[in-house]
Amino acid sequence: MTSTPQSSGVDLACQALLAAREAAKKQGAARQKPKRRITVVVRDGRAPLAFGTAIGMMMTERGLIAPAAGGSVLAQWETILTTVAPELTSHVRAVAFDDESGRLDVVPDAPAYGTKVRWSTPKLIEASNRQAPNANVRVVHVLAPAARAATTATSPAAAGELAP
């Protein structure tokens, strides 16, 4: 004589939930994810712009040229570097600046100076943007080390002439 145990309230609720889920699967009722709306933004020239952007666009449309920001960064490089790392002033030179990407290329004399520049990059970017506010330097890219070009002699030595 074995009798089956009576189910309690919690067990009955679990059984009812499982039965309801199975019945829903059999009837094909499944969760459907809502479709994502795709919005297309059409720029017709009437969207609000920042004042500086509007002035820049107007200058471009009329052929006016804004002063080159990169020239000021390259021209002020010695001052910028002196404020951040004075020991590097004679060992690192700025060779190029791309104003669209904000990339400043520098060339150290030796790998050790390049490492020091990499460590000082956040301070260099801050000082560059402070000294030349229109430049908007975002990245300092350290190129391969290169020795400084030696000064050339004013008159070349004769072909047969030997140094003493």
Question: What pLDDT does 4 receive?
Answer: 60
Task: Give a yes or no: residue 91 inside a domain.
Answer: yes
Does any domain span residue 118?
yes
Q: How many domains does the chain have?
A: 1
78 in any annotated domain: yes
**Which is higher by pLDDT, 119 or 147?**
119
Whether residue 83 lies inside any domain: the answer is yes
pLDDT of residue 150: 45
**In which band, very low, low, confident or very high, does the pLDDT at 52 lie, cut at 50, 70 and 90?**
confident
Share of the chain above pLDDT 90, in %: 32
| d(C-alpha 160, C-alpha 21), whole Å | 101
Residue 151 lies in a domain: no
Indicate whether 87 belongs to any domain.
yes
With respect to residue 11, please indicate whether it lies within any of the assigned structural domains: no
CATH of the domain at 84: 3.30.70
Q: Is the pLDDT of residue 58 over 60?
A: yes
- Domain membership flag for residue 39: no
- Please indicate, yes or no, whether the overall pTM of this predicted structure exceeds 0.75: no
Q: For residue 106, what are the contacts with CB-CB under 8 A and spacing of at least 6?
A: 92, 93, 94, 95, 117, 140, 141, 142, 143
Supply the range of the domain harboring residue 85: 69-142
Please state, in angstroms and rounded to a whole number, the distance separating the CA atoms of residues 80 and 125: 9
Tell me the per-residue pLDDT of 70-118, one tens digit each, with 9 for 90 and over.
568 888 899 999 999 999 999 999 999 988 888 999 999 999 999 999 9
